[in-house]
Amino acid sequence: MQIVVSAVVLMLVLGGVIGLLLGIAGDKLYVKQDTRVEDVLAMLPGYNCGGCGNPGCVGMAEKLVHNEIGIDACRPCKADMKEAIQKYLDEHAD
Protein backbone atom coordinates (compact mmCIF):
# COMPACT_ATOMS: atom_id res chain seq x y z
CA MET A 1 0.00 0.00 0.00
CA GLN A 2 2.87 2.35 0.79
CA ILE A 3 4.34 1.77 -2.69
CA VAL A 4 1.07 2.85 -4.32
CA VAL A 5 0.85 6.02 -2.21
CA SER A 6 4.48 6.95 -2.92
CA ALA A 7 3.94 6.33 -6.66
CA VAL A 8 0.87 8.61 -6.68
CA VAL A 9 2.72 11.34 -4.77
CA LEU A 10 5.70 11.04 -7.12
CA MET A 11 3.44 11.39 -10.19
CA LEU A 12 1.68 14.43 -8.69
CA VAL A 13 5.00 16.14 -7.91
CA LEU A 14 6.40 15.25 -11.34
CA GLY A 15 3.26 16.53 -13.08
CA GLY A 16 3.39 19.78 -11.13
CA VAL A 17 7.06 20.38 -11.94
CA ILE A 18 6.58 19.61 -15.63
CA GLY A 19 3.45 21.81 -15.75
CA LEU A 20 5.37 24.68 -14.15
CA LEU A 21 8.24 24.30 -16.62
CA LEU A 22 5.82 24.23 -19.55
CA GLY A 23 4.12 27.37 -18.28
CA ILE A 24 7.41 29.23 -17.98
CA ALA A 25 8.54 28.00 -21.41
CA GLY A 26 5.23 29.12 -22.94
CA ASP A 27 5.78 32.65 -21.66
CA LYS A 28 9.45 32.86 -22.61
CA LEU A 29 9.13 31.27 -26.07
CA TYR A 30 5.91 33.00 -27.15
CA VAL A 31 6.01 34.24 -30.75
CA LYS A 32 3.96 37.33 -31.46
CA GLN A 33 1.70 36.85 -34.50
CA ASP A 34 1.98 39.17 -37.49
CA THR A 35 -1.57 40.30 -38.22
CA ARG A 36 -0.72 42.32 -41.31
CA VAL A 37 -1.49 39.43 -43.68
CA GLU A 38 -4.98 38.97 -42.22
CA ASP A 39 -5.60 42.72 -42.32
CA VAL A 40 -4.58 43.00 -45.97
CA LEU A 41 -6.54 39.86 -46.83
CA ALA A 42 -9.67 41.44 -45.35
CA MET A 43 -9.21 44.44 -47.67
CA LEU A 44 -8.76 42.37 -50.83
CA PRO A 45 -11.89 41.46 -52.84
CA GLY A 46 -11.68 37.76 -51.92
CA TYR A 47 -12.45 36.36 -55.37
CA ASN A 48 -9.46 33.96 -55.31
CA CYS A 49 -9.38 34.36 -59.10
CA GLY A 50 -5.63 33.96 -59.59
CA GLY A 51 -5.52 37.00 -61.87
CA CYS A 52 -2.50 38.32 -59.97
CA GLY A 53 -0.49 35.16 -60.58
CA ASN A 54 -1.02 33.81 -57.07
CA PRO A 55 -3.18 30.81 -56.21
CA GLY A 56 -5.55 33.03 -54.23
CA CYS A 57 -5.93 36.15 -52.18
CA VAL A 58 -3.93 34.71 -49.28
CA GLY A 59 -0.86 34.39 -51.50
CA MET A 60 -1.40 37.91 -52.79
CA ALA A 61 -1.72 39.28 -49.24
CA GLU A 62 1.48 37.54 -48.13
CA LYS A 63 3.41 38.91 -51.10
CA LEU A 64 2.01 42.39 -50.52
CA VAL A 65 3.06 42.37 -46.87
CA HIS A 66 6.56 41.16 -47.77
CA ASN A 67 6.78 43.74 -50.59
CA GLU A 68 7.26 41.09 -53.29
CA ILE A 69 4.42 42.33 -55.52
CA GLY A 70 2.57 45.57 -56.13
CA ILE A 71 -1.09 46.19 -55.41
CA ASP A 72 -1.73 46.85 -59.10
CA ALA A 73 -1.38 43.11 -59.76
CA CYS A 74 -4.84 42.59 -58.24
CA ARG A 75 -7.10 43.35 -61.18
CA PRO A 76 -10.52 42.97 -59.50
CA CYS A 77 -9.60 45.28 -56.62
CA LYS A 78 -11.23 48.71 -56.90
CA ALA A 79 -9.11 51.87 -56.94
CA ASP A 80 -10.26 53.10 -53.52
CA MET A 81 -9.39 49.75 -51.90
CA LYS A 82 -6.00 49.74 -53.64
CA GLU A 83 -5.31 53.13 -52.10
CA ALA A 84 -6.47 51.91 -48.67
CA ILE A 85 -4.26 48.81 -48.89
CA GLN A 86 -1.25 50.86 -49.99
CA LYS A 87 -1.83 53.36 -47.17
CA TYR A 88 -2.09 50.49 -44.66
CA LEU A 89 1.12 48.92 -45.96
CA ASP A 90 2.94 52.25 -45.80
CA GLU A 91 1.82 52.82 -42.20
CA HIS A 92 2.65 49.26 -41.08
CA ALA A 93 5.90 48.69 -42.95
CA ASP A 94 7.68 46.98 -40.04
Boundaries of domain holding 44: 36-91
> Are residues 51 and 24 located together in one domain of the fold?
no
> Are residues 87 and 43 located together in one domain of the fold?
yes
Say what the pLDDT of residue 50 is. Answer: 85
Asked if pLDDT for residue 94 goes beyond 80, the answer is no
Say what the pLDDT of residue 92 is. Answer: 87
* 65 CB burial (10 A radius; 0-12, 13-18, 19+): buried
Instruction: Indicate the SS3 state at residue 33.
Output: coil
Average pLDDT, the chain: 92
- pLDDT, tens digit (0-9, with 9 covering 90-100), for 48-72: 888 888 888 999 999 999 999 999 9
> Are residues 43 and 86 located together in one domain of the fold?
yes
Handedness of CA 14, 17, 21, 27 (dihedral sign): positive
Structure-model confidence comparison of residues 43 and 33, the more confident one: 43
Closest CA to 81 of 48, 33, 53, 44: 44
Percent of the chain with pLDDT over 90: 73
Q: Please indicate, yes or no, whether the overall pTM of this predicted structure exceeds 0.75.
A: no
> Are residues 9 and 48 located together in one domain of the fold?
no
Say what the pLDDT of residue 55 is. Answer: 86
Q: Give CA angle at 59 (53, 62), nearest 5°.
A: 125
Distance separating alpha carbons of residues 65 and 83, to the nearest angstrom: 15
